[in-house]
Structure 1
Amino acid sequence: MTQVLVIAKEPVAGRVKTRLSPPFTPGQSARLAAAALEDTLHAVAATPVKHRVLALDGLPGSWLPNGFTVIPQRGDGLDERLASAFADAHRLNPVPTLLIGMDTPQVTPDLLQAAAGALAGHDAVFGPATDGGFWLLGLRRPDPALLLGVPMSHSRTGAAQLERLTTAGLSVATLPHLNDIDTTEDAFQVAAQVPGSRFAAALGAMQVTDRRAYSPGSARRWPAPH
């Protein structure tokens, strides 16, 4: 038995995906965040796991599918909020937990199921992000010491988090790299990977007048997850 825990912010203009503005307006950035979150939640909803939990900063909206237990985020820094989310979800459902964020709409039920399978045979599972962070962290048992003090939103966040796991003596399974959506380039790359997604549709509906952050001729292309 496994649960998936999604940590997310309510997609409100000016509070989410601020690095996409410009070229996108705050309202457009919020719509992109909402689409990415909805894609992520529906992938989780389609994954055969025991429980689904959303640790939310804000209020749920029409983007939330059925079948999720919503809990509030606690803590100041991201490391505190992640540690608290693990602890609170485990208190609700004392089973191994996979945590993901709201900005990988390319995630699939198959990939999440593979992560759950890996966690069945390891103490932890780690999904590295191409920007140096991580897009998934799975733990058989939550321990605040595995997260507190890890520098977040840094190019070495993923390396520091992985080192924290291995230094604690945990066996760790590693998943494929995925890229988070932090920049305009990221947005177009991810949309190209999942052209039928809500995120790609939301991006395609917007008129971007300044694409200096994204050059189709020079952009890196990453393989879609399998």
Structure 2
Amino acid sequence: MRTEKCSAAVCATTRAWDLEVNNAFTEGFTDGYSSIIVIGSDCPACGARWLNTAFPRLESKPPSEGIIGPSHDGGYYLLGLKSPAPFLFEDISWSCKHVLAATHTAAKNNQFTLTQLPPLGDVDHLDDWNTLLASPLGAAVNKVLEKNFGGNGTASLDT
């Protein structure tokens, strides 16, 4: 895993969310960070606004509490911790609609509290992509796609 130090966080490029997110937290805490937020790369709506909301909320909590941003499909797009919590990643059936519920259960079973942010949509399937493009964020996404890849942002999805 490649990590880069940022102003207030560790940015991690992970091969798979479910395989390495715990390691990202472990490495960040080992490197001396006191509050770490990890976001999924499949939630374009989770931008600076949500990070600027999440960090102050996380920093006001004790180490036995964290924050989580639920996604509409039963998973989550953001997880923030102030201490290692490997139990949040054990015995979870990843990539299914029960990830969020299982994570909350693991937290509760370990006397750990997760405060939820508002739910956001992520992009796992073509229908999710089409929903994103039809949303207010869609125009900005199409601009970026057109600028970087040319043509209409939806054209590449026809293959």
- Asked whether the two chains share a fold, i.e. TM above 0.5, the reply is yes
1:207 alignment partner in structure 2: 155
Deviation at 1:78, TM superposition (A): 4.8
Question: Which residue of structure 1 lines up, in the alignment, with residue 80 of structure 2?
Answer: 138
More displaced stretch, 185-194 vs 199-208:
199-208
Inter-partner Cα distance in structure 2 for 1:149 and 1:159? 12
Structure 1 runs (4+) greater than 6 angstroms displaced: none
For the residue of structure 1 that corresponds to 2:14, the secondary structure is strand
1:107 to 46, 56, 61: 46
Distance 1:51 1:187 in 2: 28
Query: Whose helix proportion is higher, 1 or 2?
Result: 2
Q: Could you tell me how far 1:196 is from its partner in structure 2?
A: 4.4
Distance 2:42 2:117 in 1: 17
Cα pair distance change 1:108/1:78, threshold 3 Å: closer
**2:105 corresponds to 1:163:** yes
Which amino acid in 1 is paired with 2:108? T
Q: For 1:181 and 1:95, locate their aligned partners in 2 and report how far apart those are by CA, in whole Å.
A: 30
Equivalent residues in 2 for 1:189-204 (5 A)?
189-191=131-133, 192-197=135-140, 199-201=141-143, 202=145, 204=152
* Matches for 1:1-226 after TM superposition, within 5 Å: 50-57=8-15, 78-122=17-61, 123-191=65-133, 192-197=135-140, 199-201=141-143, 202=145, 204-207=152-155
What CA RMSD, in Å, does the superposition of the two structures yield over aligned residues? 2.7
Q: Name the CA shift for 1:210/1:88 in 2 (closer, same or farther; >3 Å).
A: same
Equivalent residue letter for 1:131: D
- Under a length normalisation based on structure 1, what TM-score does the superposition of the two structures give? 0.57
> Is the 8 Å Cα contact of residues 9 and 33 (structure 2) preserved in structure 1?
no
Contact persistence 1:80–1:148 (CA under 8 A): no
Q: Is the contact made by 1:55 and 1:85 (CA closer than 8 Å) also made in structure 2?
A: no
Whether contact under 8 Å (1:133, 1:158) holds in the other structure is yes
How many residues in Structure 1 have an aligned counterpart in Structure 2?
A: 146
Between the aligned residues of both structures, percent identity stands at 22
Q: 1:206 to 1:196 in 2, by over 3 A?
A: closer
Counterpart CA distance in 1 for 2:25 and 2:85 is 8
Indicate if the aligned counterparts of 1:51 and 1:93 stay in contact, CA closer than 8 A: no
Q: Give 1:210 deviation, angstroms.
A: 5.5
- Distance in 2 separating the partners of 1:209 and 1:56: 24
Instruction: With the length of structure 2 as denominator, give the TM-score of the two structures.
Output: 0.78
> Is the contact between residue 79 and residue 148 of structure 1 (CA under 8 Å) also seen in structure 2?
no
Partners of 1:188 and 1:180 lie apart in 2 by 11
Paired with 1:189 and 1:174, the residues of 2 have a C-alpha distance of 23
